Amino acid sequence: MKVVITAQRAAWDAPVDARFGRARTFVLIDTESRELQEIPNSQALDATQGAGVQAAALVCRTGAEALVTGHCGPKAFAALAAGGVKVFTGAEGTVADAVTSLVAGQLHQADAADVAGHWV
């Protein structure tokens, strides 16, 4: 399974970034082959508004089946749902920890946003 994880940098030992829209970076991981690829989140990081929506569009374009992050707001969640990407929130520790938890079925698949949206 291909999954996108929000991270502080693109490495297995990097801490998970709890933010989705303004995550420092994304890593695209193939849980079978253990391949890791960085997907820079620069466009959303520079956005004055709508970072979550932009980041969601980016994740959808990677072809990933799931997103693993700390928190996800309503507009980003709607965009990810439209793109058919499953959202797992509440991830902690390193990227490797997050992948282990996901594969072990220990992460909660969100059926809605877990935080409120920003006004702008």
Partner 1 sequence: MIVAIASGKGGTGKTTVALSLALAAGRPVRLLDCDVEEPNCHLFLDGEVVAREEVFLPTPAVDTGACTACGLCGEICEFGGIIVLPTGAHVFPTLCHACGACVHLCPAGALREVPRRIGELTEMRAGSITLFTGRLDVGQTLAPPLVRAVRARGEGNGLVIIDAPPGTSCPVVAAVHGADVAVLVTEPTPFGLHDLELAVEAVRRLQVPFGVVINRAGAGDARVADFCAREGISVLLEIPQERRIAEAYARGLPVVTAAPELRPAFCSLLDGLDRLRTPAVARAHMGS
Residues in contact with partner 1 by the rule CB under 8 A:
47-51, 53-54, 56-57, 60-61, 75, 78-79, 82-84, 119-120
Smallest separation (angstroms) from partner 1 to the CB of 104: 30
Q: Pick the closest to residue 39 from 31, 48, 29 (CA basis).
A: 29
Cβ-based nearer residue to partner 1, 82 or 103 = 82
Smallest separation (angstroms) from partner 1 to the CB of 6: 18
Smallest separation (angstroms) from partner 1 to the CB of 111: 19
Tell me, rounded to whole angstroms, the distance of Cα 94 from its chain centroid: 13
Cβ-based nearer residue to partner 1, 93 or 117 = 117
Cβ-based nearer residue to partner 1, 49 or 106 = 49
